[in-house]
Amino acid sequence: MKMKFAVALAATALASQAFAQTKWDLPSAYPASNFHTENLAQFVSDVDKGSGGKLKITLHPNASLFKAPEIKRAVQGNQAQAGEFLMANFQNEWPLWGLDGVPFLATSFADAKRLYDASKPAIEKKLNEQGMTLLYAVPWPPQGLYSRNPVKSQADLKGIKWRAYSPATARIAELVGAQPVTIQQAELSQAMATGVLDSYMSSGSTGYDTKTYEHLKYFYDLQAWLPKNAVVANKKALEALDKPTQDALRKAAAEAETRGWASSEKKTGEYLDLLKKNGMTVEPPSAQLKTDMQKVGEVMLKEWLDKAGPEGKAVVDAYRK
Ligand code: PCA
C-alpha cells in the first residue's frame, strides 16, 4: 500500500514537470464585442489548443488591466507578457508608429496591406530593440468623420469640440480649426454622455461599439486612413517558451492576422449599415469636404516626412513603388 502510494506520487510529480504550464496576461483596450477583441479571443484559444494547453493566455479587454496608452510599456516591462495597442498612439516616440495614421496615404484595404508590408521590417526592428516581438497587426475599418451637425466643408468644423485618439487626429483638429481633446475609446461613451463632443474621426466599428449614434447624427465616409492594432509579446517571455510552444504561438498569430484583415474588411459595410439602422445619416463626403481633408493630409504627410527622416522616406518610397 505504502509502496503504491509512493509510485503514484512520483508519477504525478513527473507528469507535472513534463507539463510545465505557462500563464500570460494579454491586455487590450477595446470592448469584448469588438472585432479585434473577438479575433484575440480566438487567437488565445488557438494558442491553448496548439500548445497542448502549455500556454494559457488570459485576455483582459476594454482597458481593464492597463489603459490604452500604457499597454505597450507594460509588455516592454513584462508586467504583461503580451498586449494589443494602436500603433498610431505612439507617433511621438517614433514617427513610423504613426505612418498608418497619415490621412489619405493608404485608403483601401489593399493599400493598407502594402503599407504594412513596406513598414513591417522597420516595425519589427524597433520592437526588437524595445525587447518585444511583433505577433500580428490588423487594421481598423477606414476612418470617417462623426459630427453632431451636418458638415459640408472644413469651414463647418471651425471651433467645434473634436475628440482625438492619437497625435495625428489631434493635429487634424488643429489644421481644420477645431478644438481637440484626447479621449481613448474606453472612455468615449462616458465622455459623449456627460460632455459636449461635437465630432471625431474613427471607424464605423468604434461608432457602433460606443453607441455614438445616440449623440452624434452624421457620419461622413471619408475613408481617410486605416490605422492598425499591433499584438506584441515580451521577447524574454517568448524566448522562455519551449520551441513547439513558440511555433504554436507563431502559427496562431499568422492565422489571426489573416482572419483579422478579412473580418475588418467584411465588417466595414456591416458597421455602416448598423449605424444607419440606429438612426445615423451615413453619407459620402461632399467634394469640397473631401478636397479640404485631402489638403490636410498633404500637410501632414509633409510634416511626417520631415520628422521621420531617411528611415521614414525609405518606407514611403517602398510603399509607392
Ligand atoms: N477606433 C479607435 C482607433 C481607430 C478606430 O477605428 C478609436 O476610435 O479609438
pLDDT in tens, 84-109: 999 999 999 999 999 999 999 999 99
Alpha helices (runs of H) in 187-285, residue ranges in sequence order = 188-194, 204-209, 235-239, 243-277
Asked if domains 22-139+227-269 and 144-224+273-320 share a fold, the reply is: yes
Q: Report d(CA 179, CA 176) in Å as an integer.
A: 9
Ligand 1 nearest atom to the CA of residue 200, by list position: 8
Q: What is the pLDDT of residues 28-50, one digit of tens each?
A: 999 999 999 999 999 999 999 99
Q: Is the pTM of this model over 0.85?
A: yes
| Distances from the Cα of 54 to the Cα of 48, 80, 249, angstroms | 7, 17, 11
HSE of 169, CA atoms in CB hemisphere, 13 A: 28
pLDDT score at 3 = 53
In 3-state terms, what secondary structure has residue 13?
Answer: helix
Cβ count within 10 A of residue 278 = 13
Q: Which atom of ligand 1 is nearest to the CA of 206?
A: 1
Q: Give the residues surrounding ligand 1 with Cβ less than 6 Å away.
A: 86, 140, 165, 185, 202-203, 205-206, 227
Query: At residue 1, does pLDDT exceed 50?
Result: no
Q: Spell out the domain ranges in the chain.
A: 22-139+227-269, 144-224+273-320
CATH code linked to domain 22-139+227-269: 3.40.190.170
* Domain 144-224+273-320 falls under CATH 3.40.190.170: yes
Rounded distance between C-alpha atoms, residue 41 and residue 37, angstroms: 6
2, pLDDT greater than 70: no
Average confidence (pLDDT) over 239-243: 98
pLDDT value for 196: 87
- Among residues 115, 90, 89, 105, which one has the least CA distance to residue 224? 105
Instruction: Examine the pLDDT at 14 and tell me if it is beyond 90.
Output: no
Q: Using CA atoms, how far apart are residues 253 and 179, in angstroms rounded to an integer? A: 39
CA 112 – ligand 1 centroid, Å: 16
Pocket test for ligand 1, best of 185, 209, 225 (most atoms within 8 A of CB): 185
3-state secondary structure of 30: coil
